[in-house]
Amino acid sequence: MRIFQKCLQFFSGNPLISGAADDTGGWAGYWNAPTIWSDSALWNRQMQVLLELIEPFVKFGAADRVLDFGCGSGFFAAQMQGQVKEIVCADLSQHSVELCQQKFAGRRDVSVVKLTGDLAQIAALGPDCTKTLCLSVIQYFPALDYLDEFIAAVGKISVRGGVLILVDVGRAERTWRERLLTVLFTLRHGMFWQVVAKLAQMQFSDAAYQAVLGRAGHLEIPEQYFESAQQRLGVKVTKIPRQLTLNANRKSYIIEFV
């Protein structure tokens, strides 16, 4: 019965999570320790699906210098190493940084950077980024003003025409239709049983996540934010018309620095 209740919570909330939290007493503390997501087959499969589904809208190529902001365990770099010119894995979590340093120790085209939460640090991650990926990260930002500053900081290290790809953006709650779309997404992309297995882990091995969620919560990003961001920040915003993650209630955007 408790597993069933967790299923409802999973498909009603935000199961896809990331390691770029901001406050050391909340999410950052959670991610700094090993978690059930540290070497997750579900997370790895989600990255595979994301790269397949995003291809009509964003093409990664041999000339790209990519910043993976909130890289977690480095699933993007693991799948794209050798296919792009360079990947910079950056995360606030010391645990994630150490995992990536071990994983990519022999790779010249992958570097790993420990973030501090100070957006001024982004200047050191450039220059000449052609693409920045930010998957399921900005809900951990403290405020929309911080998101404004983040976009501006990424723009300063990006080439003209470079893009910031924000994936899994929006609100935490789901409608019943969105819950159904979430289930169908997991079935269509062979993720359903991985989700079930992760639910069991969450039930028996990860009480800390719900505790931190209750204290710190998530930042809600309304769609109107991106409508006004174009003029306010001088960028071009395109909403990707496709579900890219198992979170049907969340959207994805391409921000181009023109």
In this structure, are residues 132 and 67 in contact, taking their beta carbons and an 8 Å threshold? yes
* H-helix or E-strand spanning residue 68: strand 65-69
Q: Which fold has domain 2-256?
A: Rossmann fold (3.40.50)
Condensed to tens digits (0 to 9), the pLDDT of residues 133-179 reads 999 999 889 899 999 999 999 999 999 999 999 999 987 778 899 99
Condensed to tens digits (0 to 9), the pLDDT of residues 73-124 reads 999 999 999 999 999 999 999 989 999 999 999 899 999 999 988 999 999 9
pLDDT bucket at 25, cuts 50 / 70 / 90: low
**pLDDT, greater one: 196 or 241:** 241
In this structure, are residues 245 and 168 in contact, taking their beta carbons and an 8 Å threshold? yes
Mean pLDDT of 244-248: 93
State the pLDDT at residue 101: 97
